[in-house]
Structure formats: structure tokens, C-alpha cells
């Protein structure tokens, strides 16, 4: 009878931790034992896959040291403060050295640096005197070489300034602001309009011909060469709404300590300075009355307040390709013909894309409303029509209850098919696959289910993730094109980690194997049943009139 | 590791840096960069992302060096900074993981081309994938161990776990690898 060494022994052997005697014994054993030799050979092979040559490590060291040394060269310019929180892409640009660096929590900012936030970026800068400046998206804030001065070229910032010994000045395209001790917000809109909002204290707002003191709860706006307009601020909360949550974010190594100190000492001044678009006309959606070609990517690819859906029809603006290449750097070849974006927390996220084609109305509806395909019915001719463009939607909108959102969807579809379309939710009996509760016993509460289903036949797609069983039903429905619902009697909170390989076309023809395989691995049963669902009917307005 | 030749303790080096000798930060970088890279790789599962993460972490650590109280805890501190940085980046960009919203829908490209490419590659990358698919706590010890044959003791310090746990996790990681290899017809 042969005794095989334990894996613990093999493991030590591989790490060179066995004493000489045991090592020899194991070497002898390996000569005769195929099973163990194969194990050792395989595990040896596994050590080869992570080779990282010393040369490359040295290069990385050089790069790091290079960056650190450059930073010190810049430190000759004076230390201003530290960025304590970063959301999205934020950069620090040093003008003299012409060096653009990604910002991270903890990075120092020196005189001569410009902080640049991308369209989804925000940053919180803690100045060395304890003041802090919240920098909104799409902003360029330049800490020019003059002490106590900054230049706002575009975008918005909100500042909470400690009383300054010297006047802190902010230059914008249309005005010069003098701040002594105040809470204020400044915006420079895309049309180069400067808007100053003061929440506390006083800021002097100077243009070529005017000098206006602006006190708390007042705002002033001006465009170059025009007289400033002064107004009351009705809703002060809205002024700094976008800063919510920024200070509670991950602060790197800081653990919030420094930041708390700063806040504690900050009672006096808040400055909010900005140059942006939304604030100018929060209610008007007519901002896009201009031709899309004249609009920037940030203006076009967004949802305004109260807007649920937006379709951007081709021809697309050139910045779209830039955005796309940045988002999917590994994707070679042509840019997607159609892209879905979700608009969440005032940020754009690409969620899906299509190459060489456009979605059908049906696919557009379930992609933007999250309704499962089986809950969309109506005139098949309409549903099969194509809608071209890029699509922005808000996630988690209940189209059944939100009639405004449903109205927008109706308008978009009507426009796409050039016909008056009516959308309505009605109860209807639908044959669906019900995923029932016979979860295998070993999956007790809290344990993750791991499912791996290889493709049957050819493979063209792969779906993976970590979801609740509840959501898994939706995923299966999406893959197979069938209505799959989850029986709520089971444990919907069970987490399932899955990977399913399949071919898009084949699975539509035959999906039984997938359900069988899924059932075999989980113990869950799949039964076809007829149930009543609230279904979104898509019909021509005239046609529906005939039915009733 | 490479630069242990410089016998000075981490805490001493850090003291000198804070006193103004910036250049000797290099000693710390060289002392820990293979370890940090291994950890980065086990987190990101992608070489280039890992490389970037290593750089960001070292620079962030440098910038915050004056806030590290115990110089001897430097490696542990590095791993914490890296982890935090990784989570921040992941939240923003979901490094090589498939967020739910990105899942394939009717007629659309699978969003995670990377994953599919990997499947078509040859054996080594399948093995690599196998390792990277291990649960995090096994993955990290294994990658750290494999990359530069980092001693158990250093791994223990870095991850702030007992040596016996390192030993146990390595054994179990290999056990998992073998069973996954059998499933995947690699053994």
C-alpha cells in the first residue's frame, strides 16, 4: 500500500521548507508516484505564471522616485494645501513643468498648480490655513502664482474660507471677486457667465465698471461687458447640494482626522464659486434648443432635472469617440453604433453598447426601463422598428407609477416611428418560467452559491456576476428571451455567483439545456406557468381607439 | 528582498525622509515593491492596473508619511493604503469586474471582452486565471508567495496575519488549485 504525502507536505516542499531527510523521501516518492508527481508538476507550473522581471520592478521604482522628486522641485512654489477627497477623474496640472498628474486623496497642491476635474470628477481641497474648497465637475481652478489668488476658468467651486489676513481674490472671465471672510459659491457658465452666490459674510464683486458688495443669501451674475444682475437666493441648500457626501468619502490614509479638525475650525466663511450650466436654468430643458453639433459632450450627454430619457441621434459629435476610447481602451475597431448610458448621481455611466446596428423599439424599452422583455407587448410591427442613436436613461424609475416618465418614453417612441404611439400598463396573462424553491440543502443561509455553466455548442457571449436569486431570474430571462420569474417563497437574498457561457442566437432557439443545467447545479426547479402580470402595451394611438 | 542589503530599519529610514532626505524613499520602494505588486495583482488581476496601483500607493504613502505613527508598521500601512485605493478605483471604474448593469442584453456585445479573450488563451493564462479566480484570502498569499518567493514571515507582516495562517492558506490555496485544475481538465 502506498502512502501519499499530504498536501501540506507538498506545499512545504514547493516552498523549500522541508528538512533534508523529508525532502529526499518525497523526491523518492515522486519518482515512483505518477499521481503526486503530476500534482507537483502542475503546482510548479502555477509558480511560473507570475513572473515579474527585476528590470521592470526597477523601472517602476524609477518612475515613482521621479514623480516624487518632481514634486519637490515644484515645492519651491509654495504649499497651498492637500486634496483630501476625490470622486471620478481629477488631475493636478503644473503649468511650469507642464505635467499632468492624477489626483488622489493626500496629494499636495502647490502654487502654480491647476486642479482640473473631468465631467464626472469632484475634489475637496483642504488649504493649509484650514479653509476648504469643494471643486465641482468640469472645473479648472488655477492657483496662480500670486499669493491668495485663484483663477476660475470654467466650472464651479464652493469655498468655506477661514478669515483671511489678506484678501483672497478669485478671477473669472467676467469678474474679480475679493473675499475677506465669507461663505460663497461661484459659477462660470458655459456662456462665460459668472455667478456668485454668497451664503455667509461678504464678497466684493468687481467688473470693469462696477463694484458690488454681495452679502449673505444674495447672488450676482454677469457676462463680460454687461451690467451685473443681483438677486436673492431662494434655496440656499441647492447652492451646495452637489458637495453632499464629499467629505465622508475615503480619505486615503487620513481616516478623516485632519478633515474633522478643519471642519471644527471652520465657522466663518463659505465661498462657492462656479462656472456651470445647470444652475443657470434648473427648470428649462430648452437649453438644448441649439444644434447638438454646437453643444459640448457634457451638455449633450446628460439628463437635466426632471428629464428621464434622452435620445441623441446621429451624426454624433466627435467628442463621443474620445469618451468611448477612454471608457473601453481595450476595444479596438470602430466605435459602437449605439450606446446606452445611465444617468445616476449626476454622472454618466456607459452601460451597454451595440456594434454595427441599432436596437429595436422593444429592446430600447426594456433596456431603459428595466422591464423584463416578457412584460412588453403590443403591436409587433412597432416593437420591431429600429431606433437610432445613443440613449441616456435614469435607472430605477417605475414607469408604471411615474406618468411623466412614461410620457417621455411615449414621445420618444412616437418620434422614432413617426406615428402617435400610446403606452399603457394593463394586466395580462403571460406564460412564464417560474424558478421555484428547492435550493440544495448545502446552501444554507448566508452561503454563496457558485454556478458555472459552460456553453452548449458554440460560444459567443458570457454573462457573469454576483447577484441575488431574485435578480438571477431576470438575468436568465434576459439571456433566454423568456419570461423568468422568481418564486418569492424561496430565499431571494441568497447570493449567487455565476458565469454562464452561451451563444446569443442558439440560446434563443433552445434554452432548455440552460435551465436543466441550472437546476442540476442549484436544485431549483423551473416550471412553466401562466400568471397575470402588469404588461406595458405599445400601440398606435388610433389602433387602440379601435380596440376599445 | 533585494534591498535588504541596506540594513536600516523602516522606521529609521522614514525618520530620515521626514528630516529631509527624500531620496532614500527609494530604499523603501525597492524593499516593498515586489510585495506590493503581488498584492496589487491579486486585487486587480491585471498587470497594467496592478502597476498603476503600485505607483499610486507608493506616492500616496510618501505624501502621507508624516502621519504614520509607527514606522515599523510601514508594510502593513502600505497594504492598507493600497486596499483603500483599490476600492476607490474599483468603485469608479470597476477594474476588470463585471458590474450588473453592464451585463449582456439581447443582441449586444458581451461587455467584458477581457474575460472572453482569456478563455481563448493557452494553458499558462488559464492557470493564471485559475489562481486569480481563487477567493481573495487564498489568492493574495499565493500571488505574494509566487511572485518573488517572499518569505512567510514577510507575508504575515504585510497582511497582518499570523505566520501559521499564511502556511494554512497556502496549503489550502494549492488544494483549491488542484481541484479546480481537475475540473478544468488542466490536470
Which of A204-208, A516-520, B29-33, B99-103 has the least mean pLDDT?
B99-103
Q: Give B39→chain A minimum CA distance, Å.
A: 12
Which among A43, A52, A60 has the least Cβ separation from residue B55? A60
Does A354 or A385 have the greater pLDDT score? A385
Q: Which residues of B touch A7 (CB under 8 A)?
A: 171, 174-175, 178
For residue A88, give the nearest of B67, B92, B149 by CB distance: B92
Say if A453 is an interface residue toward chain B (CB within 8 Å): no
**A18 phi and psi angles, rounded to 5 deg:** -85, 145
Mind telling me how many Å the CA of B29 is from chain A's nearest CA?
6
* A393-417 residue pLDDT tens: 998 888 988 888 888 899 899 989 9
- Does the beta-carbon distance from A478 to B106 stay under 8 Å? yes
- Contact assignment for B58 to A64 by CB distance below 8 Å: yes
For residue B80, list chain A residues with Cβ-Cβ distance below 8 A. 253
A194, pLDDT greater than 90 = no
| Most distant pair of Cα atoms in chain B: their distance | 61
Q: Is A359 on the interface with B (CB under 8 A)?
A: yes
pLDDT tens track for A308-321: 999 998 888 888 98
Closest approach of B33 to chain A, Cα-based (Å)? 7
pLDDT tens sequence across A195-231: 888 877 778 787 766 777 887 777 888 776 677 787 7
Q: Is A256 on the interface with B (CB under 8 A)?
A: no
Is pLDDT of A491 > 80? no
Mark yes or no for CB contact A57/B98 under 8 Å.
Answer: no
Q: Is the pLDDT of residue B4 over 50?
A: no
- The segment with the largest mean pLDDT, out of A40-54, A125-139, B25-39, B79-93, is B25-39
Question: Would an 8 Å CB–CB cutoff place A47 in contact with chain B?
Answer: yes
Q: How far is B152 from chain A (nearest CA, A)?
A: 9
Tell me the three cell numbers of residue A335: 466605435
Cross-chain residue pair B22–A69, CB shorter than 8 Å: yes
Distances (CA, A) of A96 to A72, A79, A100, A306, B63: 13, 15, 11, 44, 21
β-strands A140-142, A122-127 pairing: unpaired
Contacts of A108 in chain B (CB under 8 A): 63
pLDDT of residue A364: 93
Kindly indicate the confidence band of residue B95, based on its pLDDT and cuts at 50, 70 and 90.
very low
pLDDT at A236: 66
Residue A294: what pLDDT? 66
Report whether pLDDT(A298) > 60: yes
How confident is the model at residue A271, as a pLDDT? 34
Would you place residue A165 in the very low, low, confident or very high pLDDT band (cuts 50, 70, 90)? low
Mean pLDDT, residues A172-186: 73
* Facing A478 at nearest CB: one of B81, B105, B148: B105
Q: Does A265 have pLDDT greater than 50?
A: no
The helix/strand/coil state of B63 is: helix
Tell which of A7, A18, A68 to mutate to test the B interface (max B CBs under 10 Å).
Answer: A68
> Do the chains contact at B174 and A253, CB–CB below 8 Å?
no
Q: What is the pLDDT of residue A93?
A: 82
Using an 8 Å CB-CB cutoff, list chain B residues near A366: 105-106
The answer, yes or no, to whether residue A262 has pLDDT greater than 90, is no
CB atoms closer than 10 angstroms to residue A417: 19
Distance of CA A490 to the CA centre of its chain: 32
Q: pLDDT for A523-546, tens place per residue?
A: 888 888 888 888 999 998 765 444
Q: Which of residues A394 and A333 earns the better pLDDT score?
A: A394
DSSP A235-289: -HHHHSGGGTTSTTS--GGGTTHHHHHHHHT--S-EEEEEE-SGGG-SS--GGGG
Q: Which of A43-52, A105-114, A476-485 has the lowest mean pLDDT?
A: A43-52
Report yes or no: A234 and A240 within 8 Å, Cβ to Cβ. no
- At A247, is the pLDDT very low, low, confident or very high (cuts 50, 70, 90)? low
The pLDDT confidence band at residue A2, using thresholds 50, 70 and 90, is low
The pLDDT, as a whole number, for residue A463 is 73
Contacts of A104 in chain B (CB under 8 A): 56, 59-60, 85, 88
A394 touches chain B (CB under 8 A): no
Name the percent of chain A lying above pLDDT 70: 76
The string of pLDDT tens digits covering residues B146-171 is 776 788 888 888 888 888 889 888 98
**pLDDT digit string, tens, across residues A336-378:** 888 999 998 888 988 877 777 788 899 899 889 988 888 899 9
Residues of A in contact with B38 (CB under 8 A): 50
Q: Under DSSP, is residue B100 helix (H, G, I), strand (E, B) or coil?
A: helix
Q: What is the pLDDT of residue A130?
A: 72
Residue A426 or A242, more confident: A426
CA distance A360 to chain B (A): 10
pLDDT band with cut points at 50, 70 and 90 for residue B114: very low
CB contact under 8 A, A65 and B116: no
Distance from CA of A341 to the nearest CA of B (A): 10
Taking CA B6 as the corner, what is the angle to CA B4 and CA B11, rounded to the nearest 5 degrees? Answer: 90
> Looking at the predicted structure, is the pLDDT value of residue A283 above 70?
no
Mean pLDDT of chain A: 76
Q: Is A15 at the interface with chain B, CB within 8 A?
A: yes
Amino acid at each position: 500500500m502506498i502512502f501519499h504525502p499530504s498536501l501540506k507536505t507538498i506545499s512545504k516542499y514547493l516552498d523549500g521548507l522541508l528538512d533534508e531527510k523529508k525532502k529526499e523521501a518525497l523526491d523518492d516518492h515522486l519518482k515512483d508516484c505518477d499521481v503526486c508527481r503530476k500534482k507537483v508538476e502542475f503546482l510548479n507550473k502555477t509558480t511560473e505564471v507570475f513572473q515579474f522581471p527585476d528590470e521592470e520592478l526597477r523601472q517602476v521604482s524609477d518612475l515613482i522616485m521621479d514623480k516624487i522628486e518632481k514634486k519637490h522641485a515644484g515645492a519651491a512654489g509654495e504649499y497651498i494645501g492637500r486634496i483630501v477627497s476625490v470622486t471620478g477623474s481629477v488631475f493636478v496640472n503644473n503649468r511650469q513643468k507642464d505635467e499632468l498628474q492624477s489626483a488622489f486623496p493626500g496629494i499636495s497642491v502647490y502654487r502654480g498648480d491647476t486642479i482640473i476635474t473631468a465631467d464626472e470628477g469632484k475634489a475637496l481641497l483642504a488649504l493649509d490655513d484650514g479653509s476648504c474648497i469643494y471643486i465641482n465637475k468640469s472645473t479648472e481652478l488655477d492657483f496662480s502664482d500670486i499669493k491668495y489668488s485663484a483663477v476660475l476658468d470654467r466650472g464651479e467651486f464652493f469655498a468655506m474660507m477661514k478669515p483671511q489676513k489678506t484678501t483672497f481674490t478669485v478671477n473669472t472671465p467676467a469678474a474679480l471677486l475679493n473675499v475677506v471672510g465669507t461663505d460663497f459659491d461661484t459659477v462660470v457658465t458655459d456662456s462665460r457667465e459668472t455667478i456668485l452666490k454668497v451664503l455667509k459674510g461678504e464678497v466684493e464683486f468687481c467688473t470693469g465698471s462696477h463694484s458690488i458688495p454681495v452679502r449673505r443669501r444674495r447672488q450676482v451674475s454677469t457676462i463680460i461687458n454687461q451690467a451685473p444682475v443681483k438677486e436673492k437666493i431662494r434655496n440656499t441648500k441647492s447652492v451646495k447640494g452637489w458637495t453632499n457626501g464629499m467629505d465622508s468619502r475615503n480619505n486615503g490614509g487620513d481616516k478623516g482626522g485632519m478633515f474633522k479638525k478643519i471642519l471644527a475650525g471652520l465657522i466663518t466663511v463659505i465661498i462657492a464659486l462656479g462656472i456651470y450650466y445647470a444652475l443657470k436654468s434648473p427648470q428649462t430643458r430648452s437649453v438644448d434648443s441649439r444644434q447638438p453639433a454646437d453643444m459640448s459632450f457634457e451638455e449633450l450627454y446628460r439628463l437635466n432635472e426632471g428629464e428621464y430619457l434622452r435620445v441623441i441621434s446621429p451624426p454624433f459629435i466627435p467628442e463621443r469617440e474620445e469618451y468611448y476610447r477612454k471608457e473601453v481602451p481595450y476595444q479596438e475597431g470602430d466605435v459602437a453604433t449605439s450606446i446606452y448610458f445611465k444617468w445616476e448621481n449626476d454622472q454618466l455611466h456607459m452601460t451597454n453598447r451595440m456594434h454595427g446596428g441599432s436596437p429595436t423599439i422593444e429592446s430600447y424599452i426594456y433596456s431603459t426601463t428595466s422591464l423584463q422583455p416578457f412584460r412588453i407587448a403590443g403591436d409587433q410591427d412597432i416593437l420591431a422598428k429600429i431606433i437610432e442613436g445613443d440613449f441616456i436613461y435614469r435607472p430605477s424609475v417605475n414607469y408604471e407609477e411615474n406618468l411623466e416618465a412614461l410620457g417621455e418614453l411615449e414621445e420618444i417612441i412616437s418620434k422614432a416611428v413617426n406615428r402617435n404611439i400610446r403606452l399603457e400598463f394593463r394586466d395580462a396573462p403571460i406564460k412564464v418560467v417560474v424558478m421555484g424553491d428547492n435550493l440544495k440543502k448545502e446552501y444554507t443561509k448566508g452561503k454563496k452559491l457558485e454556478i458555472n455553466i459552460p456553453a452548449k455548442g458554440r460560444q459567443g457571449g458570457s454573462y457573469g456576476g454576483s447577484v441575488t436569486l431574485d435578480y438571477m431570474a431576470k438575468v436568465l430571462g434576459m439571456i433566454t428571451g423568456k419570461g423568468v420569474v422568481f418564486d418569492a417563497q424561496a430565499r431571494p437574498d441568497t447570493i449567487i455567483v455565476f458565469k454562464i457561457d452561451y451563444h446569443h442566437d442558439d440560446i434563443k432557439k433552445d434554452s432548455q439545456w440552460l435551465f436543466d443545467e441550472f437546476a442540476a447545479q442549484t436544485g431549483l426547479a423551473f416550471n412553466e406557468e401562466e400568471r397575470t402580470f402588469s404588461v406595458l402595451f405599445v400601440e398606435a394611438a388610433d389602433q387602440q381607439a379601435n380596440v376599445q | 528582498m533585494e534591498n535588504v542589503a541596506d540594513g536600516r530599519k523602516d522606521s529609521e529610514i522614514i525618520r530620515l525622509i521626514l528630516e529631509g532626505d527624500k531620496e532614500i524613499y527609494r530604499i523603501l520602494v525597492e524593499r516593498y515593491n515586489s510585495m506590493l505588486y503581488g498584492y496589487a495583482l491579486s486585487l486587480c488581476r491585471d498587470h497594467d492596473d496592478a502597476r498603476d496601483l503600485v505607483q499610486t500607493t507608493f506616492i500616496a504613502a510618501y505624501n502621507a508619511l508624516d502621519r504614520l505613527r509607527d514606522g515599523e508598521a510601514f508594510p502593513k500601512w502600505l497594504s492598507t493604503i493600497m486596499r483603500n485605493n483599490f476600492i476607490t478605483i474599483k468603485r469608479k471604474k470597476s477594474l476588470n469586474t463585471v458590474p450588473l448593469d453592464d451585463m449582456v442584453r439581447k443582441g449586444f456585445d458581451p461587455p467584458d471582452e477581457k474575460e472572453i479573450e482569456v478563455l481563448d488563451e493557452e494553458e499558462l493564462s488559464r492557470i493564471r486565471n485559475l489562481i486569480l479566480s481563487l477567493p481573495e484570502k487564498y489568492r493574495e498569499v499565493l500571488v505574494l508567495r509566487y511572485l518573488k518567493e517572499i518569505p512567510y514571515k514577510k507575508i504575515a507582516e504585510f497582511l497582518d496575519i499570523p505566520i501559521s495562517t499564511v502556511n494554512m492558506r497556502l496549503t489550502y490555496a494549492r488544494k483549491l488549485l488542484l481541484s479546480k485544475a481537475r475540473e478544468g481538465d488542466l490536470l
